[in-house]
Structure 1
Amino acid sequence: MSAQPAVDATDVVLRTHGLTKVFRGFTAVDAVDLEVRRGTVHALVGPNGAGKTTLFNLLSGFLKPTSGTIEHEGRDITGRQPEEIAHLGIARSFQITSLFDKLTARQHLELALGSPTGIGYRFWRSEKRLARFEGRAMELLDEVGMADQANREVGHFAYGQKRAVELALALALDPSLMLLDEPTAGMGVEDVDRTIALIARIARGRTVVFVDHNMHVVGSLADRVTVLQQGAVLVEGSYDEVRTDPKVITAYLGQSHV
């Protein structure tokens, strides 16, 4: 596999060096060195237990590393709290949807937009003040193709629609970097294809790192792929390079994917 060419430090949005997480003697993430280039879509793949979600939790501040460092835009963010990391322009979506069934899609966006001002935390007293975010909320919903569903309670939405609203919530932070954890998990084929198109659209002008088991998704979206095995980087390269690498075939993809 060809080596990744050297790039200017200003073109690296996210970098880890020797990032390690140990749980009671079990090494979940093992000395991971990762570079994510500006304006690219970077996939993290690997079998169950490879350390992908643990790595995401480290990058987004939900876990503290045992050792190693994380840099965002050249700034050391190792060990910072999730809310601090979010305010630096890193947005994360989770594998499991976490929306409020009785709130509309628009209300979700208004709360997200209002939270930096403190209004979002007092939404039961601030409905009129939240209304000032309606215009931007509608723009974000339109960006993910959900403007026509803005005033429906999300409890009535199909699974793919809920994931679209969650992407809009991530966009509400105006992030320079988006971390998407299993964005197509649990979806049928039609929803997967719609979500691929949606992620491709919102990735324009942004940097995206995502985890997904679906190699159709990875092949459709990723400019760069990092394969993890037992917490360590096994190989890295383009999708075509990775999918034909003998180590990957043996460890994860299997002959049927070649």
Structure 2
Amino acid sequence: MGEGPAAGPHDAGSVPVLRARGLVREFRGFRAVDGVDLDVAEGSVHALVGPNGAGKTTLFNLLTGFLRPTAGSVVIDGHKELVGRTPEAISRLGLARSFQITSLFAELTPHQHLELALAGPTGLGWRFWRSDRALARFTAPAAELLARVGLAGHGDVPAGSLSYGRKRALELALALALDPKVLLLDEPTAGMGAEDVDRTIELVQEIRAGRTVVMVEHNMNVVASLADRVTVLQHGKVLVEGPYAEIRHDPRVITAYLGDSDVAR
């Protein structure tokens, strides 16, 4: 396991760019998220971890507007309330996400995916078929994004033919196309082999410059390599929070993971 990132922006004096207070989400009386408070420091990589059923994905969906909380508040930039806004409106405020399950158009190329993503905020949207010239302005930025995520040589093949790791890289590029201030990554290394995991770690380390990253992640080696701060969830509540080097030895965390070797080690 790596030594972890250097001391991050959660040092004294940092200002939360994303803040949740009292988040609750009930499903027919069951509280999947139960009174969660969360502060994410600007410029940090903040990991949400916990055993299966801890509420990580539900919390992620509350932060991004895909679920509406039963109670609570989510604020970006200190004053912009996100609760009640659509995911599209939230993305326009500077918060974008990737998904655990790939959701690409198999027949479109990575370059076409990115041209459409870049065109979205301009109002062109799916009117692209009216004029190829309308998308010409996005050709160079799309190529730059492809190069940034290691897909420079794969921009003109159908997305459906890409390997799993490259599909995840394309989804990350699509999120970056929105130029988010806060980027949320849902299980960015799920289902990857060791080589793709290492490549994804390097990629996140590169793209974190100038933005904040929040990620749900099961692979504790990834968390150790990337996260400045870690929030551990259990039964929908915050169990413990702190730097990885501290929480990995916390008896409560070890118990929550039932002796998982990645945590207890």
Q: For this structure pair, what is the TM-score category when the shorter chain's length is used for normalisation?
A: over 0.9
Q: Corresponding residue for 1:181?
A: 186
Give the 3 Å change call, closer, same or farther, for CA 149–255 of structure 1 in structure 2: closer
Partners of 1:127 and 1:100 in 2: CA distance:
19
Partners of 2:11 and 2:204 in 1: CA distance:
26
Give the 3 Å change call, closer, same or farther, for CA 7–34 of structure 1 in structure 2: farther
Q: Corresponding residue for 1:132?
A: 137
Aligned letter for 1:45? V
Match of residue 39, structure 1, among 40, 43, 49 = 43
Match of residue 233, structure 1, among 225, 232, 238 = 238
Deviation at 1:6, TM superposition (A): 6.0
Deviation at 1:160, TM superposition (A): 0.5
Q: Corresponding residue for 2:33?
A: 29
Give the 3 Å change call, closer, same or farther, for CA 159–255 of structure 1 in structure 2: closer
8 Å Cα contact 1:119-1:126 kept in structure 2: no
Q: Once the two structures are aligned, what percentage of the paired residues are identical?
A: 65
Q: Corresponding residue for 1:151?
A: 156
8 Å Cα contact 1:70-1:76 kept in structure 2: yes
Partners of 2:73 and 2:13 in 1: CA distance:
19
Deviation at 1:198, TM superposition (A): 0.6
Partners of 2:225 and 2:131 in 1: CA distance:
42
Match of residue 80, structure 1, among 85, 90, 115 = 85
For normalisation by structure 2, the TM-score amounts to 0.92
Give the 3 Å change call, closer, same or farther, for CA 58–242 of structure 1 in structure 2: same
Q: Corresponding residue for 1:62?
A: 66
Give the 3 Å change call, closer, same or farther, for CA 141–28 of structure 1 in structure 2: same
Give the 3 Å change call, closer, same or farther, for CA 5–221 of structure 1 in structure 2: closer
Partners of 1:253 and 1:192 in 2: CA distance:
24
8 Å Cα contact 1:120-1:130 kept in structure 2: no
After TM superposition, the structure 1 stretch with the greater mean CA deviation from structure 2, 102-111 or 112-121, is 112-121
Q: Counterpart of 1:43 in 2: which secondary structure?
A: strand
8 Å Cα contact 1:243-1:253 kept in structure 2: no
Partners of 2:125 and 2:199 in 1: CA distance:
30
Deviation at 1:247, TM superposition (A): 0.2
Match of residue 166, structure 2, among 161, 169, 172 = 161
Partners of 2:63 and 2:74 in 1: CA distance:
7
8 Å Cα contact 1:99-1:154 kept in structure 2: yes
Which segments of 5 or more consecutive residues in structure 2 lack a partner in the other structure?
1-9
Deviation at 1:149, TM superposition (A): 1.2
Deviation at 1:48, TM superposition (A): 1.1
Partners of 1:107 and 1:239 in 2: CA distance:
39
RMSD: 1.3
What is the total number of aligned residue pairs between the two structures? 253
Deviation at 1:148, TM superposition (A): 1.7
Match of residue 20, structure 2, among 16, 23, 39 = 16
- 1:36-79 deviation line (CA, Å, top 9, x unaligned): 00100000001111111111111110111100110100122222
Q: Corresponding residue for 1:198?
A: 203
Q: Counterpart of 1:178 in 2: which secondary structure?
A: strand
Partners of 1:96 and 1:148 in 2: CA distance:
24
Give the 3 Å change call, closer, same or farther, for CA 189–25 of structure 1 in structure 2: same
8 Å Cα contact 1:102-1:155 kept in structure 2: yes
Which segments of 5 or more consecutive residues in structure 1 lack a partner in the other structure?
none
Give the 3 Å change call, closer, same or farther, for CA 68–125 of structure 1 in structure 2: same
For normalisation by structure 1, the TM-score amounts to 0.95
Q: Please show how residues 114-125 of structure 1 align to structure 2 within 5 Å.
A: 114-125=119-130
- 1:94-121 deviation line (CA, Å, top 9, x unaligned): 0001111111111000000111223222
Q: Corresponding residue for 2:53?
A: 49
Q: Please show how residues 218-229 of structure 1 align to structure 2 within 5 Å.
A: 218-229=223-234
Q: Counterpart of 1:217 in 2: which secondary structure?
A: helix
